Amino acid sequence: MGRKNPLVTLRYAKALLRLCEGQSVDAEGVYASLHQASQIFEIDQAQKALASPAMPEKIKRELIEFALSKASVKETMVHNFCFFLIQRQRISYLPEICVQLQQLLDVKHGRVQVTLELAAEVDDCTLVQIQGELESFFEKRVVLHKKIEPGILGGFVATAGSTQLDCSVAKKLKGLTQLSNW
């Protein structure tokens, strides 16, 4: 699936957030439900059917209804938003609208999503300590997404958007190798 226009997806995400706020609906819950529904785009045939302008709207609605029921989504707002996207032939934008909505919610709640690469599993105490250091670094509440990457050898690599904090043993060894070749 090709990258969608970020201005369009941001506009839909902002509109949805304003709608949630205007109707006193839990935007975090709406995001979670939309994110679950967008998982249907991971199925190749469903993705092609939903993205195809030749596919009848009725079939697209049935696919989305199936995804929403599988995800146990009950919120009327989520159903209506998905059906609105189908009508506007923008349902294929749903995964990226979810990303934009999450970013808006992160800004609103003063948090940042951080991918934390570790060489191996660490205990909870160490994870809390790393999270505290990252919160000091980013000056925001950190939501960690752990990923095991043995190639970093030790330490960690934290990535948030375009910011990367590389405290890995692999980087330190690479730096030493470059110094010894100097």
pLDDT tens, position by position, 82-125: 999 999 999 999 999 999 999 999 999 999 999 999 999 999 99
pLDDT band at 177 (very low <50, low <70, confident <90, very high): confident
| Residue 146, amino acid | K
Q: What is the mean pLDDT of residues 129-133?
A: 96
* pLDDT reading at 16 higher than 90: yes
Give pLDDT, residue 78. Answer: 94
Q: Would you say domain 111-180 falls under CATH 1.10.1220?
A: no
The CATH-assigned architecture of domain 6-106 is: Orthogonal Bundle (1.10)
CA distance linking residue 90 with residue 83, whole number of Å? 10
Q: Check if the beta carbon of residue 40 is closer than 8 Å to that of residue 68.
A: no
C-alpha–C-alpha distance, residues 80 and 16, integer Å: 11
pLDDT digits 0-9 by tens, 36-55? 989 999 999 999 999 999 99
Mean pLDDT of the chain: 92
Rounded Cα distance, 102 and 113, in Å: 9
| pLDDT digits 0-9 by tens, 62-86 | 999 998 998 888 889 999 999 999 9
Q: What percent of the chain has pLDDT over 70?
A: 96
The residues spanned by each domain of the chain are 6-106, 111-180
Label residue 175 by pLDDT band (50, 70, 90).
Answer: confident
Q: Which two tokens stand for residue 150?
A: 């043995």
pLDDT number for residue 54? 93
